[in-house]
Homo-oligomer: A and B are copies of this chain.
Amino acid sequence: MPSDFIQAAAAVVGSEAVLTGAAAKPYCMDWRGRYSGDALAVVFPSSTLQVSEIVRLCAARQIAIVPQGGNTSLCGASVPLPQGTQVVLNLSRMNQIRAIDAINYTMTVEAGCKLAALYEAAEKTNRLFPLGLTAIAPHCEIGGNLSTNAGGIGVLRYGSARDLALGLEVVLPDGRIWNGLRSLRKDNTGYDLKHLFIGAEGTLGIITAAVLKLFPRPQSTATACVAIASPEAAVRLLAYIRATCGQALSGFEIISRNCLDLVFKHIEDTQEPFKRPYEWYLLIKIDDIQQNDDALRNGLLGFGGEVLAFSIASDTRQAENWWKLRKNISEAQKREGVSIKHDIAVPVSRVAEFIALASNALRGRFAGIRIVAFGHMGDGNIHYNASMPEAAQNSSFIEQYEHEVNRIVYDVVAKLGGSISAEHGLGQLKRCAIRDYKDPLELELMRTIKQALDPNGLMNPGKVI
């Protein structure tokens, strides 16, 4: 049967578009190097019809499918399990921009389009596609962005991937094609099915194309680097700046001092933003049609003494230098060594409480632990990573205590009404943990939906649910 599948698949997509053995291996390893599986084959369809036919072939043979885009999942969602019985269905060849309607502020794109290509296409028609995953934009693909409801730096203003999609085309588990490619701002004609597939990590069907919202290109950007007295003050400053600058506020990122220490240690050509060091920094970005340096300056001046220092970028270069610090935190951490990573969200009003409670709990339990905290404070989303400073000590620490560290952090998250995966999804990584933190009734509803739409369980089994 498997060899029969490979032949049949080659007849659909061409034999050069079916990889097996060593050639398939790179598509079986995840981005972070944490999960390594094995596939019966990796298949590269180039059209929705081909996806449909491959899915039919799999359904007839009860072969499970792992949909894959740029394979940049941080949770192991896009790689096969180890048994070698699953087919990876890679959508990278489906990379056409089918239509751009600048007047409607929409574009219709195929799942395999690189995010960076979408930025460019939007820019060419004087529009903005605001899904802000700048670091991985050359690699990740929009089908994966939608399947994981990707977030990034622009969520505060523009929303997550889910909020940017008006319509979807989906190949269902039985191979039929649902054409929901509507480009409407309003449509109240029944259940909004697209929201089932967005964020489902390929467990209910395969997103093959989407209609995406576009936005006006901001004409003026103001960026401030701020030293702030505490996370508590940062929480209040955020609410204050929203009230002062309104929807123009497009970024509000928090960075702890030791993030910067790691960046200065590992990343070339990076500088202290102020003459003296501070414990907590913010990067605040305002995008608007009009000039708005003054609005941001007045907002920061009006807030009072807890703003310890601030500076508004005088030119693009200065702003870029500051953002370079923020964007290199993950890379600097990687060079420093492995850490136990968390991608959590709590209500924006409780971010400071989360940082205090989690840090106290971890420091109380593990003397000398290093906590690196940063992220999208404007969305209540903190990347909160723990490690031991000494490399040797660190690896045994992680091996021995990862589960306990997770438990401590997740318990604080749960206490504050938060989420243990704000923007990275569940994949394989958090598939089990979520069972301890989600209402059993909600898990049951998820299983009911899964059973109704994928009764044979062939869509990305072993992920999410």
Contacts and interface: CB of A to CB of B under 8 A. Distances in A.
A189 B430 contact: yes
A198 interface: yes
A342 interface: no
Interface string A284-312: 00001110100100000000000000000
Given A195-B195, A247-B247, A446 B190 contact: yes
A451 B453 CA distance: 11
A196 B430 CA distance: 24
Interface residues of A, number: 100
A22 interface: no
A36 B310 CA distance: 64
Contacts of A326: none
Contacts of A423: 186, 188
A465 interface: yes
A346 interface: yes
Contacts of A247: 157, 215-216, 247-248
B347 A186 contact: no
A77 to B, nearest CB: 10
Interface string A191-226: 111011011100010000000000111100000000
B452 A420 contact: no
Contact of A449 (B148, B191, B465): B191
Copies in the complex: 2
A72 interface: no
Contacts of A437: 189
Contact of A239 (B102, B246, B248, B378): B102
B184 A422 contact: yes
A128 B176 CA distance: 44
A380 B184 contact: yes
Contacts of A445: 172, 178, 191, 193, 453
A439 interface: yes
A262 to B, nearest CB: 24
B452 A451 contact: yes
B419 A189 contact: yes
A236 B103 contact: yes
Contact of A178 (B148, B182, B195, B439): B439
A144 B244 CA distance: 33
Nearest to A445: B193
B446 A449 contact: no
A345 B184 contact: yes
14 contacts: A151-B188, A155-B186, A163-B163, A176-B441, A186-B422, A188-B419, A189-B437, A190-B438, A191-B449, A195-B196, A216-B247, A217-B243, A448-B452, A448-B453
Interface of A: 101-106, 126, 148-149, 151, 155-157, 159-160, 162-163, 172, 176-180, 182-193, 195-196, 198-200, 204, 215-218, 235-236, 238-239, 242-248, 288-290, 292, 295, 345-350, 376, 378-381, 417-426, 430, 434, 437-439, 441-443, 445-446, 448-453, 464-465
Pairs A-B, 4 closest by C-beta atoms = A195-B195, A452-B452, A103-B349, A187-B419
